[in-house]
Amino acid sequence: MELVSIIIPTYNRSKLLKNAINSIINQTHQNFEIIIIDDCSTDDTLKVIKNFEDKRIKYFKNEVSLRATGSRNRGIEKSKGDFIAFLDDDDEWYPRKIEIQLEKFTDPDIGLVYGAIDLYFEALDFKYPTTPSKKGKLFKELLMKNHVGGTPSVMLRKVALENNFFDVKFPAREEYDLWIQISKKWKIDYIKTPLVKAYYRNNIDRISTNLDNYVQGINQLNKKYEKDIKNELSCKEIKLREAQQNFFLGAQAVKMYDTKTARKYFLKSFRINKSKNAIMAYILSYFGPVALIKAKYLISKVKG
């Protein structure tokens, strides 16, 4: 039975961390190790971990802050499994996540498997799923857009990393950068069923709530892959890529309940590509973030 290494970076979220760990312990696939990288917490994180009394949990505390990116890299270095997965300390996995994803790796050319995520907005008390749609050789598609998403739904074949760990120079979008790197040599597959429940809370600190980090991360991606973009994409595709980047920034602003900034990016996106989604998002933003989030929710329900 395959050993899966699960890496959780954490910082001062002991109560939330408990739920994250429980969601791993309750997995149908039980051959795993949980590698918790504590990024200099000052709360009772260690006490919470010790209460589990589970030898599969391995705890490491950073001497200096490495932030989430550096902590994940440290976790990879400590891992012993042939497969690696990630969980944020404030999210939860559904019970069959590991089992379902491992089935995809029977294809030796698959290096990464991602899945749908239930996005749960705690203040609004509802969720809607993301909709994975891309698989296979995805280098060109990933240059266009991050179809894989964030780390919590991803499982990797460890050999697919080949020392291409998360780039700590990125303030955000470092996971997107890594997926592009992996897609150069490996095929990617997905699971349609939601594997993760990702919480959107407005009362906890998140690196991802700083929109400037996203802007800087996108700029770094543009610079890093400048030659690939010119070689692989047509002028029309480059234009669409720019529109999608602006739409992404608008969507992140909505999740931060900053509709004024969201409108700015949705309008930029529309002016570049004349997308119906962009203009609808722009109009709905005048009704507040809840209207936009619920519209996305309703669309997901219609799609089934």
pLDDT, one tens digit per residue, over 90-102 is 999 999 999 999 9
Q: Is residue 220 part of a domain?
A: no
- The per-residue pLDDT for 207 is 46
**Same domain assignment for residues 62 and 169:** yes
Containing H/E element for 200? strand 187-200
CA distances from 295 to 213, 276, 277, 292 (A): 26, 14, 11, 5
User: Could you report the average pLDDT of every consecutive run of 10 residues in the chain (304 residues)?
Assistant: 96 95 98 98 96 96 96 97 97 98 98 96 84 96 97 97 90 97 97 95 58 96 98 97 97 88 96 93 90 75 54
Give me the phi and psi of 165, to 5 degrees please.
Answer: -75, 180
- The per-residue pLDDT for 210 is 85
Q: Is residue 222 part of a domain?
A: no
**Same domain assignment for residues 30 and 122:** yes
Q: Is residue 172 part of a domain?
A: yes
- The per-residue pLDDT for 80 is 97
Structural domain of 257: 234-303
Q: Is residue 212 part of a domain?
A: no
Query: What pTM was estimated for this model as a whole?
Result: 0.93
Q: Is residue 116 part of a domain?
A: yes
**Same domain assignment for residues 192 and 63:** yes
Sign, CA torsion 239/242/246/251:
positive
- The per-residue pLDDT for 292 is 84
Sign, CA torsion 254/260/261/266:
positive
Sign, CA torsion 260/266/271/276:
negative
**Same domain assignment for residues 40 and 122:** yes
**Same domain assignment for residues 35 and 104:** yes
- The per-residue pLDDT for 299 is 65
**Same domain assignment for residues 139 and 46:** yes
Q: Is residue 285 part of a domain?
A: yes
| Contact residues for 240 (Cβ-Cβ < 8 A; gap 6+) | 144, 273
**Same domain assignment for residues 44 and 150:** yes
Between CA 300 and CA 304 the distance in angstroms is 6
Q: Which residue has the tokens 């610079």?
A: 223
- The per-residue pLDDT for 300 is 59
Mutual orientation of helices 235-255 and 259-273 as an angle, nearest 10°? 170
pLDDT in tens, 175-225: 999 999 999 999 999 999 999 999 987 654 454 568 999 999 999 999 999
Q: Is residue 223 part of a domain?
A: no
- The per-residue pLDDT for 301 is 60
Q: Residue 110 pairs with which residues in a beta bridge? A: 187
**Same domain assignment for residues 39 and 183:** yes
**Same domain assignment for residues 288 and 159:** no
Give me the phi and psi of 137, to 5 degrees please.
Answer: -80, 110
Q: Are 253 and 209 in contact (CB under 8 A)?
A: no
Instruction: State how many domains the chain has.
Output: 2
Q: Are 51 and 22 in contact (CB under 8 A)?
A: no
Q: Is residue 184 part of a domain?
A: yes
- As a whole number of angstroms, the longest Cα–Cα distance in the chain is 57
Between CA 153 and CA 191 the distance in angstroms is 9
**Last residue of one domain, picked from the residues 145, 177, 200:** 200
**Same domain assignment for residues 32 and 151:** yes
Domain CATH number, residue 111: 3.90.550.10
**Same domain assignment for residues 196 and 238:** no
Q: Output the six-digit token pair for 263.
A: 């409108």
Round to the nearest angstrom and report the end-to-end CA distance of the chain.
34
- The per-residue pLDDT for 257 is 82
- The per-residue pLDDT for 163 is 75
**Same domain assignment for residues 36 and 110:** yes
